[in-house]
Structure 1
């Protein structure tokens, strides 16, 4: 049985990523107003939700190592092409996450939770004892040696936009959640309650200290990603997933809201579209130069997402799968 709530959650994650990525591409910084605050709250959270959902999907698919490997390679290749356009691409990370969890595809939930915690702690040790700034020009958000072997590995596994350490934890947590009976109201309630507690718990350490030297080590910001960020972002992801699972059946009864699910099933296609079409159009119009306000970024992003819903509604009459989803199925299985 397909859980339409998960597709709805995927689209919501996509909307959040559009808001965040459009602001990054437009070189706009937060200024404390309401639109800025909304986008700030989504930074790192929308992408984390996306990865947790990928883990749930991977777990529910029960795909074997060969199939997962082929799809991982497809995503890495597609992502590396995309990096030449948008450096904060997440697809090549996705593919790498999939390769890393191959030995855990059939692991029980407890093993996955344990592995997720271990990955987060290993990453934290790297943050404390390593040079997290290596390769970065933080002012320009440019990674100097990405296209070298050393730079690529460092960026992918240690200090890139969504490094394996610790972002792999999100995928493992999603896989662990897939081991639950997500159709059960009681399970959904537990996911929501534990998620809310985790979200709040992750915020507490930073709130209890005024020492600026500890700020980065206790932060729930996505860069640098601390265990407190992993905890809090996992919590918010769980709350959204539980809410969508609860609301899914009701939303599917309406033709309008059913489109949310249709769009969520094309998350790969829409992700590339928001870069190639969305950012491409903004670039053509000369809007990627820091001239926009956060309010403008918000409305442009929401308008683009509305256009995506219209597209998804119309595409259902053309094909069962989105263009890139169909291509991946054809090339990788």
Structure 2
């Protein structure tokens, strides 16, 4: 149970990171030198990677049948495409595509998963080398011109969108591989922390050396767009380190009466991240829009604290909701539609 609690807590923290990044993106606030900006900068691309890795961990722990995975993928795809109507950086429809990929490898060996991870990263890197990554993009407005065409959708989804299948599906496969470990053992957790931190640091150092290369320097960044091999390495390693650290510390936190109450709310919220992801766009960004707080009208620290307050409210909502219902609103809806159960 402590293993599951730790994964749920890590999922909530990933959600917090995504809210910080997405609220700043929506508010069109430029980063600064304040603490809030530095924290948000460090989370850009890392929180989303952790989110996807944790989905892979959950897939390994749950071992759903392929047809259930497919039904869930279809549900997420529909919700994600609807979300794309109002939020261009949606990740849910990408999740659906990652889950379709996972169906082919769910019952395969650990080595097959590792080969799949390497294959998706390599394919993405080769595509970035030989194809035009800028095609379809207006980087000034962060808009994609032809997403709602077949060609544009496929290009965006597979190659040059915010979280394209090549290489981002590798994060889900990495999470599936991690989910097969004995995650409840402190030795495994410690290994994830130390190994993940070491690899992330090495990737960052290598990026600093190679980024000046005139041939491939643009792809040697650890920034998420484009998602080059060193970003994938750093993002996956960071996710493993964060998950290991949260798994290590969760039993300690739950043993402290006052801290446990706070952790309980975050853990429950971590089980309802589908609901909260959609809500932070519809309710969170919608409220900011209604109040006229978007389009550069806020200071970086203001949007930082608004984001933190929203995440605290989300945790409180989940804690109150859990007293009456077992699952979050969207989680229950997905279960009803895909499994016919309440």
Specify if TM > 0.5: yes
Cα shift at 1:32: 3.4
| Alignment partner, residue 329 of structure 1 | 335
After the TM superposition, which segments of 4 or more aligned residues of structure 1 sit over 4 Å from their partners? none
Partner of 1:313: 319
Write out aligned runs for 1:1-333 (5 A): 1=1, 3-209=4-210, 211=212, 213=214, 214-253=216-255, 254-333=260-339
Bigger drift between 134-143 and 311-320 goes to: 311-320
The answer as to whether partners of 1:251 and 1:258 remain within 8 angstroms in 2 is: no
Match of 1:208, SS?
helix
Task: Please provide the CA RMSD for this pair.
Answer: 1.2
Retained in 2: the 8 A contact 1:109–1:177?
A: no
Q: Give the Cα separation in 2 of the matches to 1:229 and 1:62.
A: 28
- In structure 2, distance between residues paired with 1:280 and 1:63: 35
Aligned length: 333
> Given that residues 211 and 219 in structure 2 are in contact (C-alpha distance below 8 angstroms), is that contact kept between their aligned partners in structure 1?
no
Partner of 1:101, secondary structure, is: helix
- 1:256 Cα deviation from its structure 2 partner: 2.0
In structure 1, runs of 5+ residues without a counterpart are none
> Is the Cα contact below 8 Å between 1:27 and 1:288 reproduced in 2?
yes
- Conservation of the 8 A alpha-carbon contact between 1:259 and 1:312: yes
Once the 2 structures are TM-superposed, how far is the Cα of residue 209 of structure 1 from its aligned partner? Answer: 4.3
- CA distance in 1 between counterparts of 2:70 and 2:262 reads 36
Q: Which moved more, 1:196-205 or 1:157-166?
A: 196-205
Question: Helix, strand or coil for the counterpart of 1:131?
Answer: coil
The two structures have a TM-score, normalised by structure 1, of: 0.97
How far apart, CA to CA, are the structure 2 residues paired with 1:170 and 1:115?
Answer: 10
Q: Deviations over 1:6-50 (max 9, x none)?
A: 000000000000000001111112233332221111000000000
1:210 Cα deviation from its structure 2 partner: 6.3
TM-score between both structures, scaled by the size of structure 2: 0.95
Can you give the 5+ residue segments of structure 2 that lack an aligned partner in the other structure?
A: none
Deviations along 1:49-94, whole A, 9 cap, x unmatched?
A: 0000000001111101000000000000000000001110000000
CA change 1:201–1:134 in 2 (3 A) is: same
1:212 Cα deviation from its structure 2 partner = 6.7
